[in-house]
Structure 1
Amino acid sequence: MSGFDLEKFLPYQLNELSRAVSGGFSYHYRERYGITVAEWRVVAHLSQEDAVSVREITRRVGMDKPKVSRAASRLEAAGYVTKIANSNDKRLVQLSLTDKGRAMIETLAPIAQSYDDTLREMLGEDFDAFQRSVARLNSAISARAET
């Protein structure tokens, strides 16, 4: 047997942490609004700007284009987003929240903030150092991917 210890393998630990942390909040949007993690990520991103292209969301949230497009189509069918084709290039689609989508965000934002506060409390005085470490690791991985 190798000396490899899966439980101490950082990618495994981060994946498990991500799954647990996301699961703690996903219940709220899944049960209340029937949306998936991918759909939540699109809606949450759209809540930060007026209109965003599918291409830009794909780049920012780290999901592949087909997954973002499927999420956008489901959100449009549910009335949470509108799609607007670019007048110069019909392949380029801008997404924006509808009133119904904004109402969903208005309901979920305080729940998300409360959940974030709970996570911060769990780490206590270590939270800022943890957040800096996550940012540093993200930057290092991004820089490495660009070379």
Structure 2
Amino acid sequence: MASGSAARKPAPEPLVVLEEFLPYRLNVLAGLTSSALAQIYAERFGLSIPAWRVIVTLGQYECRTARDMAPDGVMHKSTVSRAVSALEKRGLVKRRPNLDDRREEWLALTPEGRAIYEAVAPEALAVGERLLSVLTPQEQQTLSALIDKLTRQARLLAPQDAEGEEA
């Protein structure tokens, strides 16, 4: 005897309100920020997120191994390896043997890779500054401290071998 006018049960109270769920909110913020940055490094330089992270890491540290870069960019070693291979094919990254450990290689930017880093890094920093511009200097300091604190806690909560792909 079901009819279209039969009374419906009210929806149960949600256990999670997605728009208020902290991991979701952080993911939305990260995604929107990545999209803003992607307009710079993807459209102008044809770089993926992992490739950009490799370039930034090598721009900052001059020389690293792929294993060293994985935790820095919160990427799996295989993701770093694929990005490095693509960048090497484009002539943006060069490899040299690690004489202390033959299982890995030192990676560095070529002059062309360094030029991309130097061209896009100031624009990426400007995006970050524009994002933070809605906060007072004190709020910016507090946010930075809170992000550090939450990151430490998240690392404790995450499985030991977890190296997220989308941070």
For normalisation by structure 2, the TM-score amounts to 0.81
Distance across 1 between alignment mates of 2:159 and 2:88: 34
Comparing both structures, which one devotes a greater share of its residues to helix?
Answer: 1
Q: What does the per-residue CA deviation read over 1:18-59, in whole Å, with 9 as the maximum and x for residues that have no partner?
A: 000111111111011101001001110111112100100012
Alignment of 1:61-80 (within 5 A): 61-80=73-92
1:133 lines up with 2:146 in the alignment: yes
Max Rg structure: 2
Distance across 1 between alignment mates of 2:152 and 2:37: 25
* Count of residues paired in the alignment: 147
Runs of 4+ that moved beyond 6 A? none
In structure 2, the partner of 1:86 is 98
Evaluate the alpha carbon distance shift between residue 146 and residue 74 of structure 1 in structure 2; reply closer, same or farther with a 3 A threshold. closer
SS of alignment partner, residue 71 of structure 1: helix
Distance across 2 between alignment mates of 1:26 and 1:124: 26
- Structure 1 runs not aligned, ≥5 long: none
State the identity as a percent.
33
| Greater relative contact order, per chain length (Cα 8 Å cut-off, separation 6+) | 2
- Please tell me the residue identity of whatever aligns with 2:88: E
Q: CA deviation at 1:102?
A: 0.6
For normalisation by structure 1, the TM-score amounts to 0.91
1:103 lines up with 2:115 in the alignment: yes
Alignment of 1:18-37 (within 5 A): 18-37=30-49
Distance across 1 between alignment mates of 2:158 and 2:33: 26
CA RMSD of aligned residues (A): 1.8
In structure 1, the partner of 2:132 is 120
